[in-house]
Amino acid sequence: DAEITQSPRHKITETGRQVTLACHQTWNHNNMFWYRQDLGHGLRLIHYSYGVHDTNKGEVSDGYSVSRSNTEDLPLTLESAASSQTSVYFCASRGILNEQFFGPGTRLTVL
């Protein structure tokens, strides 16, 4: 079955380190998204991509970057991790009926 996976599922890092979260989907969807989920803020869009070599900023993109070198993957990079980036991160892709399919999430703790 086609699916969307994220790795790692849990990550602890230190302030100032670079961290990359992986997202991989096997549906061949063009549109992919990264969200963070925090208590009191719900889901907030970080970055999104409409296809290979396309990336766009969402509402909370500062401190994050993405790259899209193929259809299947959209890695999210925290250039210099900050404690404010401690969160649960979800990757998603958009299906042909416009619904979004979500990965299982990565819980990131920045100490």
Partner 1 sequence: GNSVTQMEGPVTLSEEAFLTINCTYTATGYPSLFWYVQYPGEGLQLLLKATKADDKGSNKGFEATYRKETTSFHLEKGSVQVSDSAVYFCALIPPDNFNKFYFGSGTKLNVKP
Question: Is residue 45 a contact residue for partner 1 (CB under 8 A)?
Answer: yes
Question: Least Å distance between CB 31 and partner 1?
Answer: 6
Q: Are 54 and 69 in contact (CB under 8 A)?
A: no
DSSP-derived pairing of the beta strands 64-66 and 10-13: unpaired
**Which of 19, 33, 66, 68 lies at the binding interface for partner 1 (CB under 8 A)?**
33
Residue with tokens 């889901």: 43
Question: Is residue 22 a contact residue for partner 1 (CB under 8 A)?
Answer: no
Question: Least Å distance between CB 60 and partner 1?
Answer: 14
Question: Is residue 86 a contact residue for partner 1 (CB under 8 A)?
Answer: no
Beta bridge partners of 19: 78
Question: Least Å distance between CB 67 and partner 1?
Answer: 18
The two structure tokens encoding residue 80: 């210099």
**Which of 8, 16, 38, 50 lies at the binding interface for partner 1 (CB under 8 A)?**
50
The two structure tokens encoding residue 89: 């991160």
**CA distances (Å), 63 to each of 2, 57, 76, 80, 85, in order?**
31, 11, 10, 7, 9
**Which of 46, 90, 108, 110 lies at the binding interface for partner 1 (CB under 8 A)?**
90
Residues that bind partner 1 (CB under 8 A): 31, 33, 42-43, 45, 48, 50, 90, 92, 94, 97-105
